[in-house]
Amino acid sequence: AQSVTQLDSHVSVSEGTPVLLRCNYSSSYSPSLFWYVQHPNKGLQLLLKYTSAATLVKGINGFEAEFKKSETSFHLTKPSAHMSDAAEYFCVVSGSGGYNKLIFGAGTRLAVHP
Amino acid sequence: NAGVTQTPKFQVLKTGQSMTLQCAQDMNHNSMYWYRQDPGMGLRLIYYSASEGTTDKGEVPNGYNVSRLNKREFSLRLESAAPSQTSVYFCASSITRQGARETQYFGPGTRLLVL
């Protein structure tokens, strides 16, 4: 069975400092992995997607994530946080089954302070 | 190109009332999904529709029904609302490709409060 664990429920950083949001996954096959962002009272927006091509995936707004199979991790990073990055971030793994199943992590709330 | 749209944005119901949440997409996607989001639990799939005319249960289908009205529209119905159904409901859509995990595109959500 597939699962995803976001290791931090809350992360707080200062504007201009690096961001690291941690995600571990479990999958019995080579999965697709996603990061979505949800700004307050908004829907979910795709940040980036890994589908077994390059292990370093670049997304929108300066975010990137590295797929590490040996560590079963897919951590999200950004070199320099901006106030507008404050949001909730979801790590998502594709599931098995006959349809496009997604399994969501519980989310990490990122706060950015001036 | 509006993407995925949902109506209403907010709704307050009394226990036992019924309502239908509407979802439409203009991206010509075959697959559509309904999720609920509860604090600390990420999103959980209620129902999905892999193509027009088909629907299937997801992880938490009890208390809900769906209708895939046509390729664009996928509605979610609560026949007799319960306080446990207080949640934020998201609709999503994606293309369908055999064996591939396609990106799902989400609507803005419907916030439902059941008193």
Q: Which chain A residues in 55-84 lie under 8 Å from chain B, judged by CB atoms? A: none
Q: Do residues A14 and A112 touch, judged by C-beta distance below 8 A?
A: yes
Averaged pLDDT for residues A92-97: 77
Mean pLDDT of chain A: 91
Mutate to test the interface with A, among B60, B101, B102 (most CBs of A within 10 A): B101
List CB contacts (< 8 A) between B57 and chain A.
none
The token pair that represents A78 in the structure block: 């950004």
Averaged pLDDT for residues B36-54: 90
**Does A51 sit within 8 Å of B101, measured CB to CB?**
yes
Q: What is the pLDDT of residues B50-99, one digit of tens each?
A: 888 899 999 899 999 999 989 999 999 999 999 999 999 999 999 876 65
The lowest-confidence range among A49-53, A57-61, A81-85, B97-101 is: B97-101
Own/partner pairs for A59-64, CB < 8 Å, 24+ apart?
A59/A35, A61/A85, A63/A19, A63/A35
CA distance A25 to A48: 16
**Closest of B21, B13, B16, B2 to residue B106, by C-alpha:** B2
Q: What is the band of A99 on the pLDDT scale with cuts at 50, 70, 90?
A: low
List CB contacts (< 8 A) between A96 and chain B.
none
Question: What DSSP state is assigned to residue A51?
Answer: -
CA distance B24 to B91: 8
CA distance B83 to A103: 25
Residue B6 clears pLDDT 70, i.e. is over it: yes
Residue A29 has a pLDDT of 76
Residue B78 has a pLDDT of 96
CA angle B3, B9, B12 (to 5 degrees): 155
Residue B42 has a pLDDT of 84
Q: Which chain B residues in 1-60 lie under 8 Å from chain A, judged by CB atoms? A: 4, 31, 40-45, 48, 50, 56
Averaged pLDDT for residues A77-101: 87
* A94 touching chain B per CB within 8 A: yes
Averaged pLDDT for residues A10-37: 93
Q: What is the band of B49 on the pLDDT scale with cuts at 50, 70, 90?
A: very high
CA distance B50 to chain A (A): 7
